[in-house]
Amino acid sequence: MGLLVQKFGGTAVGDPDRIRSVAEHVSRTVRHGNQVVLVVSAMGKETDSLLRLAEDVSSTRPGREMDMLITAGERKAMALMCMALHDLDLPADSFTGSQAGFVTDGEHQNARILEVRPDRVQAALDTGRIPVVGGSQGVSTDHNVTFLGRGGSDTTAVALAHALGADACELYTDVTGVFTTDPRVVPTAKRIDRISFDELLEMTATGCPKPAMRSVEYARTHGVRLHVRSAFTWQEGTWVDEEEPDMEQAIISAVTHDTSEAKMTISGVPDQPGIAARVFRELAEAGINVDMIVQNVSTEGVTDISFTVPHEYLDRAMSTGGSLSTEIGATGVVSDDAIAKVSVIGAGMRTNPGVAATMFETLADCGVNIQMISTSAIRVSCVVSEDRAEEAVTALHESFGLSGD
Amino acid sequence: MGLLVQKFGGTAVGDPDRIRSVAEHVSRTVRHGNQVVLVVSAMGKETDSLLRLAEDVSSTRPGREMDMLITAGERKAMALMCMALHDLDLPADSFTGSQAGFVTDGEHQNARILEVRPDRVQAALDTGRIPVVGGSQGVSTDHNVTFLGRGGSDTTAVALAHALGADACELYTDVTGVFTTDPRVVPTAKRIDRISFDELLEMTATGCPKPAMRSVEYARTHGVRLHVRSAFTWQEGTWVDEEEPDMEQAIISAVTHDTSEAKMTISGVPDQPGIAARVFRELAEAGINVDMIVQNVSTEGVTDISFTVPHEYLDRAMSTGGSLSTEIGATGVVSDDAIAKVSVIGAGMRTNPGVAATMFETLADCGVNIQMISTSAIRVSCVVSEDRAEEAVTALHESFGLSGD
């Protein structure tokens, strides 16, 4: 029927039983007439164990060696997976990122894919063998082993599916698909059967943890159909694909929330051309990832610039912001780390005005104060107090009609 | 004042403290003006753990995937070692067997080195960095990861020392050197300061467990000076080198014993040309490693052929021997797995007649019966009953004057 790239995450290959169970699923997929390429992550919590081991040994932990260490995890998982397939009379060959042709830049622990040359993977397929590729791995142009970062196996799978011209990329995880909101917060959250790349990308950017945002970006750019599904129930999950313009859109597809960021405000900033550019250039040069940025119109020649940063960057951002504030003649810098970003996402909002208004009304009705607002064509995000976040999510999920029966 | 290859075995790098301790030793070696290349085995019992994991997952365990799995062990150790060196301001780069230029045949789990092209290792040395190479690893000519087998790290170190033209290869282990006999059996055993390649080769072939025999063969063929020493006391150990002809030789350097083999006898074999060849060809084709072979002169046209095989091959050897016995018209096959091979080794016996006689007298004096005898130019071995082996070793160690004060 087709060529499928199937990616299995850490819990899906967490122990020998799980590995054999995945092999049986692959066997079923092959019996249905498909060709399969597997991508596997390290078993269970192995990557965490390797990181702890490195911390026990060294305080410096150079990136090249961290990548050499961490990639041992997928190496084990992929070799064991091949053995389990072999037991079922399915000949299989494991390939490291390097062997599978993943050429990356040299940014250790967070390498970017430059090119995928899957010649050996294709050759294995052509001789009826099942290639099993180590996720999140590559080799730099100067021949060093690289790691694509946590969650990089999703990206490996999508990039490989694109390079091989696969019919779909199946991401097997410990949830049954993409949900209308976090089911741990809202028990009536429903699994979404089908969603567009744009919507899923906005969701992963605003707090939906799986699949990894980078892999969704890659899939969207290259038009790789994704199927996000469970490695424990094997039931159909969520298909991710191009938007079909003639389809009737749900106005809102999902509500997300993210409590991993803090808010910073630089107050009394002189409203002159180039000031904002200078602020965010200096923060970027200090290695700080800035997310949501809001600047309001100025009053009496001064304005406030607010933005959010991940919690772990807050100290550094405050220190950079403090000296910057003096230099540009601002009046001060304040921060708040007890915030949450709550977002509603839906391709249908392009043609349905009033989504933002509904969102603000819903939050007002339950007495949740909005601290910052930011929008895109298919998303509205509000920063609210962290302790009101779950209440806000529940109310929005209900008011946009997403709850199941 | 030279280039040293230092190899550290599993217990020497068994935990984070041990890894840091090795890094400090390397730092001392470098401060004394040496260049250092490290070879490391997998940490502690990790290779055993990986083998158990494979057994838990699979009953078939194809060799290619076993090698991919097992080499994850050295990969972890070498990356962690580089981090520990980096903490001491010693820049270091880890290299897999493939990256270090170890080209092997495709015999998985027991690959043979075909060629060593240590270009990247040399380049790292040339820029003042410490190369740390994963032991017992290589890449086959068809680009698959290979494992040289248990104990293969010693061979990696020796081959690398040869390829780099190193001044010596230091094998760090959990004993302080090579001993005149097993100190667990004879407490008065002495560490040998200096021994020839030929003698150490005979010792490792007859029961001395470290260093691995293959590495001693490689060192002997290529004239690589070895220094076998402890990674726990750091004291000088045993130097292994060419024999110096003008040096006064001890007649006997060491007494070894080996209880890992069983004895098999094919009785009443017709004494015709080609029969022995046929016996050992068929055993070889059944994959059975035969060690000591003894055939006496024939009486009335028939003879007995005895040989030893490792315990784990005995069942297979008995089955092959049984059918063979019928085909060649022998009268039967018997085996005994409660035997030990006791050997005395010494280059001095070439010019000192009477060593064999002394050995037999010593064994007779303590009432140990000799079942088989085999000799080389510098070794005499006797097969005795396993339960008398330690007594025989103790008596021989005493009678050849090897005991310390």
Give tens-digit pLDDT for B92-126: 999 999 999 999 999 999 999 999 999 999 999 99
Q: Are residue A68 and residue A169 in the same domain, yes or no? A: yes
Domain ends where: A147, A174, A201?
Answer: A174
Please list, residue by residue across B250-279, b when 16 or more beta carbons sit within 10 angstroms of its beta carbon and e when fewer do: bbbbbbbbbbebbbbbbeebeeeeebbeeb
Q: Are residue A131 and residue A276 in the same domain, yes or no? A: no
Q: Which of A337-346, B188-197, B287-296, B379-388 has the lowest mean pLDDT?
A: B287-296
Q: Which of B72-76, B176-180, B374-378 has the lowest mean pLDDT?
A: B374-378
| CA–CA dist B140, B110 (Å, integer) | 12
In a domain, B243, yes or no: no
Find all residues with CB under 8 Å of A227, minimum gap 6, and list them: A168, A169, A170, A171, A236, A237, A238, A239, A240
Statement: residue A299 has pLDDT above 80: no
pLDDT tens digits, B337-394: 999 999 999 988 887 878 888 999 999 999 999 888 888 888 999 999 999 999 999 9
Q: How far is B398 from chain A (nearest CA, A)?
A: 46
| CA–CA dist A359, B85 (Å, integer) | 56
* Domains identified in chain A, total number: 3
In this predicted complex, what is the ipTM? Answer: 0.84
In a domain, A20, yes or no: yes
Statement: residue B170 has pLDDT above 90: yes
Give the CATH number, domain containing residue A10.
3.40.1160.10
Q: Are residue B47 and residue B156 in the same domain, yes or no? A: yes
pLDDT, residue A247, reads 57
pLDDT tens digits, A188-230: 999 999 999 999 999 998 999 889 999 999 999 999 999 999 9
Record: contact A80-B53, CB cut-off 8 A: yes
- For residue B82, the chain A residues in CB contact (below 8 A) are 62, 64-65, 68
B79 vs A65, A80, A92: nearest CB:
A65
pTM: 0.87
Statement: residue A116 has pLDDT above 60: yes
- For residue B133, the chain A residues in CB contact (below 8 A) are none
Give the CATH number, domain containing residue A391.
3.30.70.260
pLDDT, residue B245, reads 66
- For residue B80, the chain A residues in CB contact (below 8 A) are 53-54, 57-58, 65, 69
In a domain, B215, yes or no: no
Does a cis peptide bond (omega within 30 degrees of 0) precede residue A211?
Answer: yes
pLDDT, residue B182, reads 93
Q: How far is B72 from chain A (nearest CA, A)?
A: 5
Question: If interface means Cβ-Cβ distance under 8 Å, which residues of chain B face chain A?
Answer: 16, 19-20, 50, 53-54, 56-62, 64-66, 68-69, 71-73, 75-76, 78-80, 82-84, 86-87, 92-94, 96, 99, 120, 143, 145
Find all residues with CB under 8 Å of B25, minimum gap 6, and list them: B231, B234
Q: Are residue A300 and residue A378 in the same domain, yes or no? A: no
| CA–CA dist B337, B323 (Å, integer) | 20
Domain ends where: B143, B158, B174?
Answer: B174
Dihedral angle over CA of A254, A258, A264, A269, nearest 10: -10
Mutation target to probe the B interface, by most B beta carbons within 10 A, among A57, A81, A85, A89 is A57
Record: contact B62-A86, CB cut-off 8 A: yes
User: What is the three-state SS of B198-225?
Assistant: HHHHHHHHCCCCCCCHHHHHHHHHHCCC
Mean pLDDT throughout B319-344? 93
B65 φψ region: left (φ > 0), alpha (ψ -120 to 50), beta (else):
alpha
In a domain, A239, yes or no: no
pLDDT, residue A288, reads 86
Domain that holds residue A56: 3-174
Q: Are residue B276 and residue B160 in the same domain, yes or no? A: no
A75 vs B58, B72, B87: nearest CB:
B72
In sequence order, the β-bridge partners of residue A16 are none
Record: contact A66-B79, CB cut-off 8 A: yes
- For residue A57, the chain B residues in CB contact (below 8 A) are 16, 19-20, 80, 83-84
Q: Are residue A46 and residue A112 in the same domain, yes or no? A: yes
Q: How far is A240 from chain B (nearest CA, A)?
A: 33
In a domain, B231, yes or no: no
| CA–CA dist A111, A140 (Å, integer) | 8
Record: contact B87-A20, CB cut-off 8 A: no
SS3 A248: coil
The band of A123, judged by pLDDT with boundaries at 50, 70 and 90, is very high
pLDDT, residue A34, reads 96
pLDDT, residue A302, reads 86
Q: Are residue B155 and residue B277 in the same domain, yes or no? A: no
Amino acid letter, B327: E
Q: Are residue A31 and residue A162 in the same domain, yes or no? A: yes
Q: Which of A298-302, B140-144, B193-197, B375-379 has the lowest mean pLDDT?
A: A298-302
Q: Which of A342, A372, A107, A325 is nearest to A206 (CA)?
A: A342
